[in-house]
Amino acid sequence: MLRLITMPPSHFSEKARWALDRSGLAYVEERHAPLFHRFALKKVGARNTVPALVTDTGTLSDSSEILRYVDANSAFKLYPEGNLGQQVAGFEQEVSGKFGPAIPRWAYFHIIPHRSLYVRLCCQGAPGKERLAFGMMAPIIGLGMKKGLSINREAAERATARIQEYVDKVSEMLADGRRYLFGDQLTAADLTWSALAAPPTGATGFRGSSATEAEVPAEMRSQVEKWRDTPAGQFVHRIYREHR
């Protein structure tokens, strides 16, 4: 059986999880708390970032590779043929490479100072020993995450600007009334945008760890409400309702 290695709050993990869920391929998910995920990834020969998919022919260490695997090995086709498929793939790569990395910098900046919320979001669904150890080491791990991701006020503001840039871009794409970003059915572009944009738009149905708007800090909540009410944010909510 396929093994999907994830972290609870990871939106890239949600991207892979969503594709596998829709594909009908049998898999088991293994969630690990931050830091501890590296040990699990090392055991299967993956890189240091989640998600990773362990197959009978090797380990895939990138969410985009996992989507391609699903497309090739199931009836759930994420990439149309021809020029449309090239547009979908280009958008998926751009959003994954430029928009996706901004989300954790923005989110962790707001969440890490709130220890109980931070620990819960990072450990939801992880093994008990990891939850216990993470809780005890949370301040140290938090400092490591801040250093590793260069998390500070200035970086959070840059991340917020990058999120806004892509919310505006996708909203502009949707201004012509289209129901999907490319073509007339769900593709890797829609799934990728919706999975990665789920945390900053507060999408219901996100299957990683999440918090209610009432639980998060006021500044973060204000941003979520703002992004949720844009065409790009409402698109995320509709795609979750109809396809998740």
**Cβ(12)–Cβ(51) below 8 Å:** yes
Residue 174 has, within 13 A of its CA and on its CB side, a CA count of 18
Backbone angles phi, psi at 30, to 5 degrees: -120, 110
> With left for phi above 0 and alpha for psi between -120 and 50, is residue 60 left, alpha or beta?
beta
> Among 209, 203, 211, 212, which Cα is nearest to 239's?
203
**What tokens were used for 198?**
């789920």
Angle between the N-to-C axes of helices 153-173 and 231-243, in degrees from 0 to 180, rounded to the nearest 10 = 70
pTM score of the predicted model: 0.97
**What tokens were used for 102?**
């901004």
Q: Are β-strands 27-31 and 2-6 bridged in parallel, bridged antiparallel, or unpaired? A: parallel
Full pLDDT tens readout for the chain, 244 residues: 999 999 999 999 999 999 999 999 999 999 999 999 999 999 999 999 999 999 999 999 999 999 999 999 999 999 999 999 999 999 999 999 999 999 999 999 999 999 999 999 999 999 999 999 999 999 999 999 999 999 999 999 999 999 999 999 999 999 999 999 999 999 999 999 999 999 999 999 999 999 988 899 999 999 999 999 999 999 999 999 999 9
Domains of the chain: residue spans and CATH = 2-73 (3.40.30.10), 82-111+152-243 (1.20.1050.10)
Give the residues across from 58 on adjacent strands.
55
How far lies 90's CA from each of 84, 86, 192, in Å? 10, 6, 12
Q: How far apart are CA 126 and CA 37, in angstroms?
A: 10
